[in-house]
Structure 1
Amino acid sequence: MGTAPAARAGGLSFHDAVTAAWTADPVRVELSTNRESADARADAAKSWFPGGPVVSAQYFDDHFIGSNIGYTTYQGSVSVPLWLPGQGTATTRVAQAESATIQERLNVEHMAVAVRVLEATGTLVIAQRRHALALSMLGIMQRIDAAVGRAARGGESPRADQQAADAELAASRTEIGLAQEQVDAAEAALTTLLGRPGLPDILSYDARFLARTRLDTPQLIEDNDPRVRAARRGVMAAEEGVRLARASFMPNPEIGVGAIHEGQYGSPWDNRVGVNITVPLPSEARNVPMMADARNKLAAANSQDVQARRMVRVELAQVRARLDAAGTTLGSARASAGALNRRADEMERSWQVGETTLIEALRARQAAYNAILALNAADVGWHAAIVRAAIASGMTP
């Protein structure tokens, strides 16, 4: 029984797999739409006026009150709102800051997609190795069962040995079924994530690639992490929001022109034109809640900035610890699997010459099987830890 059955090659690089998953990612589409909307708001804020023109019309007639002297008035006006000092620039900068924040959120999502591809790939590779190992174990159990059957027919083996061999053979078939189920589920999950079939290659990343991950510069990695940059952009957007709230200290004034046409008995002034100006005055009932909301958003953004840095700092420590543990675990698992596999072979030969009971030989073989499963998991975990370190340091292999 080999110590590490190889998974089926997928002919797909990890970088291409991440690209495929990124193309199929629905969150990317959502965030891209949000960024385009923010850019559109920034362009709209460069308009000369903060809103569209307002048209008003009035009609007065004395016929409705019964006097019927002939007093009729037609009055109309058109006005436009005006930007307050600095309000237009602040509105543009808020929209631009939101667009930059969304761009960083896209980078965060890209990083998350890479991690999901890595995890799904690792799960599938382990499942395929389990299935290959289970098939190998079935072949061994079939060989042992056949040998026990021959010995039993010749009266050289007790019935209990035949029952034990049959039970282990059935257990091997069950293990194959469970392993196949795990493979099918993992393949479905990975195919859904990538939007196409394929198995990304993560086993080619080794210690030589690890040296390029810059894990020895944690502060640089932290500052360049997209989650930290997104949080920092969020703070900048909130600060621009505070500036906009300060610039919007009163409702927008309006300026326009109006005309009046009157039809009155004996009046020499039947047409008039003029200018109208509307200036709403500041009010604490409006301004205080608006400023409070802007300050609350800034406080929340600052909190998220601190939390993002803490999260990245802890994650980097976890990545380094996982690398160290994965290397140690792989070495121990390799030694254990090799020793237990050799022991199982020796126990089987010892059973064949009558020096050991069948039960002991079967136990040794099962222990070797479990050790090789652990070795496969450790081997995949080691390569996955290297790729995860690369992702954490800002590299997508």
Structure 2
Amino acid sequence: MDKKIAFQPHLASRRRPPASLLALLVLATGGVQAGSLGGAISSALEQAAQQPRVGAIRAERDAVRRQAESLIAEDPALRVKHISDRIDQDQGAYEWEAMVDLPLWMPGQRDARQGVATAIGGQADTLTRLLRWEMAGRVREALWNTALAQGRLTQAEQALASARALEATVAKRVKAGELARVDLLVARQDALDREAELQAAQVEHARTLAIYRQLTGESELPEPLFESAPKPEATTELPAEHPLLSDADSALALARAERARAQSERRGNPVLSLGGIRTRDARGTDAQHAVQMEINLPFGLASQSAPKIAAAERSYTERMADFQQTRRQAEQRLTEARVNRSGAAEALTVAERRHSLAHEALDLVRRAFDLGETDLTTRLRAEERARQASMDLELRRLEQGRALAEINQALGVVPE
């Protein structure tokens, strides 16, 4: 059942609301056309300015990928050496040597770093979905707080209208001599109580709508308000693409890639050195030139690489534990959402029966009051019971939508 929840002016009250309240109501009703829930979530994400986080992760992915695609494993280095006899013999002998050191990739190291880049990119993708899912939860909460406040406001308006009508009826009967003047005072007091309730409902609705507007930048609640219900079989277990699980899995994948990288780099990188040498034995002799090439092969002792590998293994184990804990928490939220939805359905059934009985009794009391067979106190008690039943029924109906939104949130359903 779809309902349009939008703020409307309240003309039932005889008193004008305070100027500050009117200003807040005008601010909250900016006249913007109601959009979809997905649009409200997108607007809230823009307001939150979280997208740069995703961009920073993707920039890190690109940097790691460029490094893995490089021809050398680390920064090259220039070595220059000069030998001369100027200090002691000064016969003009010298030697110049220049070498460029080029760290080389070991087998599997480039693939390991490409794996790290891919895992980082996966984190960026899952973070995008996670941020939208988290914002969807905040928007849904603010939305239904406002919808429930609107429901209370609607019922308060109707209660005030009924109290005003009863007051007018009592006034006529007092004038006709059928009722005592004290009954008119009681009726007026009841109308004032309903007016106070209406003003409190107005403030609460304005407050919740202001929170929704601050979150999303929109003044109207989305249409339709009620979300589509998932298939019954879809609510039994978490989907594999749940944003929370996907984010935890991407963190685990990155830890796995970092572990593979640490294992591939257990040995230092070989260094290929290329350069030349120029020598002269004494003044007047010709200088000699030669090309040089060196290769530096590290031993790769296990004692030296063990701390780095152990740290990567610990990080992977921690991410694995985090993933399992995240899954359990998500499953618990889904179970709670299913229970809440079932309870909301049962509460609606009871509220419908209570509403029917209370209004049936009210009709009887009204007829008896009109015929003079009962007093005003009995009439007011019946009116109060019917009012409470109507309020409860309206809220229970709205709770159906809230419970549905909670189970969609628990299932990771995010409107686009």
TM band (smaller chain): 0.7 to 0.9
Q: Deviations over 1:249-302 (max 9, x none)?
A: 133332222345567744754655423444454355642221121111111121
Q: CA deviation at 1:186?
A: 2.1
Aligned counterpart, 1:249: 266
For the residues of structure 1 that align with 2:384 and 2:278, how far apart are their CA atoms?
A: 103
Deviation per residue, 1:95-138 (Å, 9 max, x gap): 20121133223223333333333222212111122222222222
1:347–1:274 Cα change, 3 Å:
same
Normalising to structure 2: TM-score of the pair?
0.78
- Do residues 46 (structure 1) and 69 (structure 2) align? yes
Moved more, 10-19 or 259-268: 259-268
Rounded Cα–Cα distance in structure 1 between residues aligned with 2:85 and 2:159 = 104
How has the CA–CA distance of structure 1 residues 244 and 102 changed in structure 2, closer, same or farther, with 3 Å as cutoff?
Answer: same
Q: Cα–Cα, structure 1 residues 158 and 250, in superposed 2: closer, same or farther, change >3 Å?
A: same
**Letter of the aligned partner of 2:119 in structure 1?**
A
1:188-337 aligned within 5 A: 188-205=210-227, 209-210=228-229, 213-217=230-234, 221-261=238-278, 265-266=282-283, 269=287, 271-283=289-301, 286-337=304-355
Distance 1:204 1:242, change over 3 A: closer
Number of corresponding residues: 387
Which residue, 32, 37, 56 being the options, matches 2:60? 37
Does 2:146 align with 1:124? yes
Q: Residues 138, 6 of structure 1: CA spacing in aligned structure 2 closer, same or farther, 3 A cutoff? A: farther
Deviation, 1:28, is 4.0
Q: Is the 8 A contact 2:109 2:265 kept in 1?
A: yes
Deviations 1:157-179 (A, max 9, x none): 354x4554444333323322322
Residues of 2 paired with 1:179 and 1:66: CA distance?
101
C-alpha distance after superposition, 1:136-155 (max 9, x if no partner): 22222333444555666788
Task: Report what 1:7 is aligned to.
Answer: 5
Distance 2:210 2:133 in 1: 22
Aligned equivalent of 2:208 = 186
| Equivalent-residue separation in structure 1 for 2:232 and 2:273 (angstroms) | 64
Whole-angstrom CA distance in 2 between matches of 1:95 and 1:154: 89
Bigger shift: residues 356-365 or 294-303 = 356-365
Tell me the equivalent position of 2:27: none
TM-aligned CA distance change 1:367 to 1:33, over 3 Å: farther
For 1:8, give the aligned amino acid.
A
Equivalent pair of 2:344/2:403 in contact (CA under 8 Å): yes
Partner Cα separation in structure 2 for residue 242 and residue 115 of structure 1? 34
What code does the residue aligned with 1:115 have? G
In the alignment, the residues of structure 2 paired with residue 139 and residue 292 of structure 1 have an alpha-carbon distance, to the nearest angstrom, of 74
Aligned partners of 1:345 and 1:70: how far apart in 2? 124
CA distance in 2, matches of 1:165, 1:124: 31
Aligned CA distance change for structure 1 residues 151 and 242 (closer, same or farther; 3 Å): same
Partner Cα separation in structure 2 for residue 5 and residue 130 of structure 1: 14
- Matched-pair contact (CA < 8 Å) for 1:333–1:378: yes
How many angstroms apart in 1 are the aligned matches of 2:208 and 2:82? 74
Give the % identical residues: 22
| Secondary structure of the structure 2 residue equivalent to 1:223 | coil
Q: Is the 8 A contact 1:72 1:264 kept in 2?
A: yes
The CA deviation string for residues 313-349 of structure 1, in whole angstroms up to 9 with x for no partner, is 3233223222222211112112222332443454455
2-side partners of 1:18 and 1:173: how far apart? Answer: 36
Deviates more, 1:16-25 or 1:370-379: 16-25
1:388 shift after superposition: 3.9
* 8 Å CA contact 1:127, 1:182 repeated in 2: yes
* Paired residues of 1:49 and 1:81 also in contact (CA < 8 A): yes
User: What RMSD in Å do the two structures reach over aligned CA positions?
Assistant: 3.5
Contact 1:215 1:389 in 2 (8 A): no
Identify unmatched segments of 5+ residues in structure 1. Answer: none
Distance 2:393 2:81 in 1: 87
Secondary structure of the residue that 1:179 maps to in structure 2? helix
Equivalent residues of 2:245, 2:323 under 8 A apart: yes
CA distance in 1, matches of 2:274, 2:135: 57
Q: In structure 2, what residue type is equivalent to 1:132?
A: T
The one-letter code matched in structure 1 to 2:208 is: A
* Distance in 2 (alpha carbons) for counterparts of 1:219 and 1:132: 36
- Summarize the Cα distance change of 1:184–1:196 in structure 2 as closer, same or farther, 3 Å threshold: same
1:44 to partner: Cα distance: 3.3
Q: Is the 8 A contact 2:273 2:293 kept in 1?
A: yes
Distance 1:369 1:290 in 2: 70
CA distance in 2, matches of 1:176, 1:67: 108
2:108 pairs, out of 80, 83, 86, with: 86
The aligned runs of 1:136-155 (5 Å cut-off) are 136-148=158-170
CA contact (8 A) 1:202 1:384 kept: no
Query: Partner of 1:216: helix, strand, or coil?
Result: helix
More displaced, 329-338 or 12-21? 12-21
- Partner letter of residue 302 of structure 1? M
* 1:27 alignment partner in structure 2: 50
